[in-house]
Every structure is written in structure tokens, then in C-alpha cells.
Amino acid sequence: MLAVVFVVFSDIEKDKFRKLLVHKRRACQYAFRLLVTRSQPTHVPFRHFRGLLKFFRPRASERDAYLVFKALNRSKSGFLCLSEFYNIYEMCGFKWRPYQSPDPWFNDFPDPLRGCFYLIRRLVTWKWFDFFVYAIIILNAATLLMKTIFVSASGVPVSHDLRVTWDQVAFVTCFLGCSR
């Protein structure tokens, strides 16, 4: 008896699912026919698709409509064909949100270190940071050139002992600290 009830219930559910699927498919065909134009009878542009979504999902933003359209447009032609349009019910069920990068690796550090690393991160991601590093490299090259000219012009024989000056230490520190 239980097996008979299960089979009947399962057949009823399959029939409901089939009817729902056929109904959705017919609705997609009907909506597609309303969205196409005489000049393009086989494709739907984004402008018309956005108009459909204003009625189908009134609270959808322009970004959501664009993302649904791009997700449906598998051929990447900028237009939807009927076979792509059939998936509108599945794509409209998605929730879209902007990607937020994960917390930085130093987020679990104690407060003074975290603040220091946060400031360094802001400095490195600053839009003028690359130009700053290039300016330091050019300034170092100019100082090395000036020192070479002064040593060669003085007539004093060049010794091979390595004396490191403060500007060379500052350059190396800044260059190694700023390189990514």
C-alpha cells in the first residue's frame, strides 16, 4: 500500500514539475516574441531586456540587470537568442553583490603593528606611489653621477675601500622598503 501511494505521489509531482517547466518555457517564448524587433527578429538587445526586468524584477538595479544579461549571453554577442533567454528564471534567482577583497593578512596582529601595516598598505596602494619610487631612483642616479664627477675632477686617486654614505643607506632602505 505504501509503495502504491509513493508511486502515485511521485507521478503527481513529476506531472506538476513537467507542467511548470512547460509553462515557464512558453512564458519565455512569449516574452521573447514581445521583446524582439522587426529588424532583429531572432535577438534581444540589452535595452529591451532591461525593460522586461523592470516588470519582472522591479527592484533590480541597473547593475543587476546588466549582470543577468551578461550571464545569459553565453555567445558574448551583446544580444540574447531564444536558447539563451530560456535560462532567465535561473539567472534572475541569483543575488549579485560587489566583490570585496578578504581581510589583509595582518588583520590579526596587535593594534600598533596592525596600524603600522595598514599605513604601509595605504602608502603602497596610493596612486602616486610608483612615481615617488621612480623619483627616488632618478635622484639616486643623479647623486651617484655627481659624486663620480666630483671624484674624477678632484684628481685624487680613487681608493678601493668601500665607504657607505648616508644617502646610499637611505636609498637602499627606501628602495627595498618600497619595492613590491
Q: What is the pLDDT of residue 162?
A: 63
Assigned fold of 2-92: Recoverin; domain 1 (1.10.238)
Structure-model confidence comparison of residues 170 and 125, the more confident one: 125
Q: What is the pLDDT of residue 105?
A: 83
DSSP state at residue 59: T
Q: What is the pLDDT of residue 85?
A: 87
Structure-model confidence comparison of residues 73 and 148, the more confident one: 73
Instruction: State pLDDT tens for residues 24-79.
Output: 888 888 888 888 888 888 888 998 888 888 888 888 888 888 988 999 998 888 89
Facing residues of 45 across strands?
79
DSSP state at residue 41: T
Q: What is the pLDDT of residue 3?
A: 65
Every domain of the chain and the residues it spans: 2-92, 110-178
Instruction: State pLDDT tens for residues 3-19.
Output: 655 666 676 777 776 66
**Residue 180 pLDDT more than 60?**
no
Q: How far is CA 110 from CA 107, 113, 119, in A?
A: 8, 6, 14
Q: How buried is 81 (Cβ within 10 angstroms: 0-12 exposed, 13-18 middle, 19+ buried)?
A: middle
Q: What is the pLDDT of residue 62?
A: 87
Structure-model confidence comparison of residues 60 and 1, the more confident one: 60
Instruction: State pLDDT tens for residues 84-119.
Output: 988 888 888 888 787 777 788 888 888 888 889 999
Q: What b/e sequence results for 83-109 when a residue is b if at least 16 CB atoms lie within 10 Å of its CB, and e otherwise?
A: ebbbebeebbeeeeeeeeeeeeeeeee
Give Cα 48 to chain centroid, integer Å.
26
